[in-house]
Every structure is written in C-alpha cells, then in structure tokens.
Amino acid sequence: MRILLDTTYLLPAIGVSVKGLAGDAMIKLIEMGHQISISDITIFELSAIGAKHAVLGRISAERVSRGIRAIVYDDRIERIPVHDSSVLLTAFRLRKLMNDFIDCLILSSAVNRCDLLSTEDGDIQDLEDKGFHEIAQAINPGFKMRRMTDII
C-alpha cells in the first residue's frame, strides 16, 4: 500500500519527540512492505518546526539538518512535488474546507498519489463531515485516512 505520512511522523528524525508516537513508526511501515511517500512541503514544515526548537535550544540546528538530509536521501521515501498540477488543483479545492494550506497540500498529495494518508491531525480527520468525501471519490475512490495506531 502507498502511504503518505503527515509531518508529525517525521519529527523524530529531526530530534523532536511526539508524545504517544513510536519514533520508529516509519521503519515499521517499510518493514511491513508499504511504500512510504511524503509531500515536498513536509520538508519545509520540518525545517520550520526544527528552526523553532533550535532557536529555543531544545535541539541543535545540526540535528535538524542531519534528520532532513536523512529523509531527503532515503530512497525508500518517495517525495511528491507540490508543483504537480493535480496536487495544486486539488489543494485549491481543499482550501475551501481547511484554513491551513500546508495541510491542503499534504492531503492533496495523498489523495492524488497514494492509497492512504496517515495523520494524527484532527482537522484533517474531521474533513469527512465537510464534503471531503466527494472530492476524494472523484480522484481516488479507495482513498482512506488513518491514524498510525490503526495501521501498525
């Protein structure tokens, strides 16, 4: 299965722990035989979150940089470009349902190129009640959203 991971699952790679999240979740998915994808915007989001933590002295800038390089150069992780026409056009439609355009790009990348989006984001999970289902059905009828605990 092709699974797009939301940014939350990549935070441990840059040294940011997430309460209740196994730091090796991505590795487990790969070992289970899933194809892992991320949106290119996730690299930007990781950099922004890493910068915030580095400025506050919680982690070193070098740790953030090493983690991002590890993700970018890992051949097991497919990166989906945000400039892809179908990704952008769907993201623009999703913007009517969500305020966070980064999340729109992540969700659009998943709908257009993957079978499933793994996310802990409640705003994204709640889209099922706001007309998202019709958008997803038109693009990728079998598309699903799940929390990591529902996958592994």
Q: pLDDT tens across 16-73, in order?
A: 988 877 777 888 899 999 999 999 999 999 999 999 999 999 999 999 999 999 999 9
Which domains, from first to last, does the chain contain? Answer: 2-150 (3.40.50.1010)
Tell me the pLDDT tens digit for each residue of 97-128. 999 999 999 999 999 999 999 999 888 988 87
Angle between the N-to-C axes of helices 40-55 and 61-72, in degrees from 0 to 180, rounded to the nearest 10: 170
Q: Between the CA of residue 117 and those of 3, 18, 29, 53, 93, what are the distances in Å?
A: 6, 18, 13, 26, 18
Cα atoms in the 13 Å half-sphere on the side-chain side of 118 = 24
Provide the pLDDT for residue 27: 85
AA identity, residue 48: A
* Rounded distance between C-alpha atoms, residue 97 and residue 2, angstroms: 24
